[in-house]
Structure 1
Amino acid sequence: MSGEITLFVNPTAGHGRGAGAAQPAARALRAAGFSVRTVVGADADDALTRARRAVRGGTGALIAVGGDGMTSLALQAVAGTDTPLGVVAVGTGNDIARSLGLPVRDPAGAGRVIAQALKEGRSRSIDLGRVGGRWYGSVLASGFDSRVNDRANRMRWPAGRLRYDAAILAELAGLRAVPYRLRLDDGPPLETDATLVAVGNGPSYGGGMRICADARLDDGLLDVTVVGECGRTTLLRVFPRVYRGTHLAHPAVTVHRAAKVTLETATPGETVTGYADGEPLGPLPLTVEAVPAAVRVLAPEPAGP
């Protein structure tokens, strides 16, 4: 493995924490004997081009410094290659880092975990979801939660998880079910009216909302959480349970598992946008595939099933 490590930095992540986080992470890596270079793009496309160039050039690891958006961008560069991914999570949601058991908003601690894994030659293979040519690590959201994502991305206040909570309350005013048509693997179409449908490679989104609480990163399957038609009162009553994952026991919630999932609306002209890792993918229909062992990550082994 090359002794040179590439820090892939989003300087604006976490209201400016990204720029400052790169320094303690770099110090931890240098203290372990690694040479560190930093990649910062002018925009997302330029950053991805630079990251892919580093991967092709044989960098020992690509370390994403930022939030889930930066980690998702790094996945586009390392998925399907032998280059391991490290995550220094200093963004708003940090769901990918949480699902990997990595430190959150502790760049020096994350740097030490990554350095130790590199010194020991230890990495872990995890699955990814793939939609066309795009990879994702956590959850694909559609329906009510994608409208919440859309609103939260437009908001500048409040910060952190509270932004999603505020966006949820605002979207409740227009709450309605969407007629979905789902296809799981090669099974027959399943038509259902749903408030939201989430397809999880990992368990959480939105800063710790465990919408697909039982999803595992190494089982070769996607967890599909379908929240059926429900009113505002029911949704408000169930919502706090999402952070613990206990909402899965509610009678309005159904969970499926499949290696391939197609989502589409059953009503002509109905537009629903899909988001993955908090980034817009485009309108349904979308087909998601689970790709086993798609990327190597510098993270602890899971404690158990």
Structure 2
Amino acid sequence: MSKERIVAVVNPKASNGAGGKRWPKLEKALREHWPELEVRMTERQGHASTLTAEALERGADMVIAVGGDGTTNEVLGGFLDAEGRNRFPDACLGVVANGTGGDFQRMFGALAPLAQVQRLAAANIRTVDYGLVRFVDHEGEARTRAFVNMVSVGISGLVDAIVNDSGRPLGSTAAYVGASLEAISKWRNQPVTLRYDDGDAQELDLTLLCLGNGQYFGAGMHACPNAEVDSGQLEAVLLDGFRRRHIVGALGRCFKGKHIGYRGIESKTVSKVQIDPREGAEVLIDLDGEQPGKAPLSVEVVHAGLRLRIA
């Protein structure tokens, strides 16, 4: 048996409470591989970051995020300092996707949670990238957040806002598509200035920009089908100046990753991105299903900054 010190940070409210119901079986399976497993249950938004930091400060070798993509995002945050640097580069982030969407885990092969545990125990540790986003929160304060999966800007932020206002759980494909269609009916493209890396600034009527370290978001949308977690770059997928009917067409193609090239949708690899609103536009962001703020924002890659263990 392994002598590693392993801590599971569990979101019992994941998947609208279904994740908590699955947890006893998952815990039993995890303890077959790590009998001394320590368990910490989240109680509120942001709690997973606090629990992770505490576990790492006490010498944990691996912290396993057990929940949805938002839980994984919060656990990643517990590894980092205020500037986004990994304070615990020798420790490992483990993932058991026990939410509804499981978009980050999906790119490695969608598996039921119990099957993930078996694969996780045998998985090799890999060194991967993560992204840093600097933006403005809803109180007007500058914030820095990390992501291991994806950040997007534009209509996806409105989708999150619609879901948050309705009280519906965002995670299932049906919930995301329903909120997406509502957002499309209300959408107006946003005037922004976009700069990739050190290139020239572009003035756009932004519909959506996805920046993927991972490939999926929105409970199965294959938004960034060419993204790689260890390339040192993000895949940038841009929808510029789309009409509503064309957004619907892109949405339908996106679940199979067939949207690249449709109506001029472009994909490229980048390591830095800057977006600035024009004409007073409020440009919302989506960060692993959360809507934490708005542009102006900058995004950059931290190459080989995280040790990851995933099924």
Whether TM exceeds 0.5 here: the answer is yes
- What is the one-letter code of the residue matched to 1:169? L
- Name the counterpart of 1:100: 108
Q: Using the alignment, how far apart are the partners of 1:53 and 1:46 within structure 2?
A: 11
Farther off after superposition, 147-156 or 164-173: 147-156
Instruction: Tell me which stretches of 4 or more aligned residues in structure 1 moved more than 6 Å.
Output: none
- Is contact 1:101–1:299 with CA below 8 Å preserved after alignment? no
Cα deviation for residue 102 of structure 1 reads: 5.7
Cα deviation for residue 191 of structure 1 reads: 1.3
Q: Using the alignment, how far apart are the partners of 1:233 and 1:185 within structure 2?
A: 31
SS in 2 for 1:53: helix
Q: Using the alignment, how far apart are the partners of 2:199 and 2:96 within structure 1?
A: 40
Cα deviation for residue 297 of structure 1 reads: 1.4
- Is contact 2:129–2:231 with CA below 8 Å preserved after alignment? yes
- Is contact 2:48–2:71 with CA below 8 Å preserved after alignment? no
What do residues 136-180 of structure 1 show as CA deviations (whole Å, max 9, x unaligned)? Answer: 022212111210121123334587111111111112222222112
1:245 is matched with which residue: 257, 264, 289? 257
Cα deviation for residue 299 of structure 1 reads: 2.5
Q: Using the alignment, how far apart are the partners of 1:156 and 1:33 within structure 2?
A: 37
- Name the counterpart of 1:140: 151
Q: Using the alignment, how far apart are the partners of 1:8 and 1:84 within structure 2?
A: 13
Say if 1:271 and 1:2 are closer, same or farther in 2 by CA, change over 3 A.
farther
SS in 1 for 2:260: helix
- Name the counterpart of 1:184: 196
TM-score (norm 1): 0.89
What do residues 90-109 of structure 1 show as CA deviations (whole Å, max 9, x unaligned)? Answer: 21221111123362xx2222
**RMSD between superposed Cα atoms in Å:** 2.0
Residue correspondence of structure 1 range 58-73 to structure 2 within 5 A: 58-73=59-74
- Name the counterpart of 2:125: 123
Unpaired runs of 5+ in structure 2? 81-85, 135-143
Count of equivalent residues: 293
Cα deviation for residue 127 of structure 1 reads: 1.0
TM-score (norm 2): 0.88
- What is the one-letter code of the residue matched to 1:87? V
- Name the counterpart of 1:15: 16
- What is the one-letter code of the residue matched to 2:145? R
Q: Among the aligned pairs, what percent are the same residue?
A: 31
Say if 1:25 and 1:265 are closer, same or farther in 2 by CA, change over 3 A.
same
- Name the counterpart of 1:303: none
What do residues 237-268 of structure 1 show as CA deviations (whole Å, max 9, x unaligned)? Answer: 2321101111112133122321111112122x
Q: Using the alignment, how far apart are the partners of 1:29 and 1:46 within structure 2?
A: 22
- What is the one-letter code of the residue matched to 2:54? R
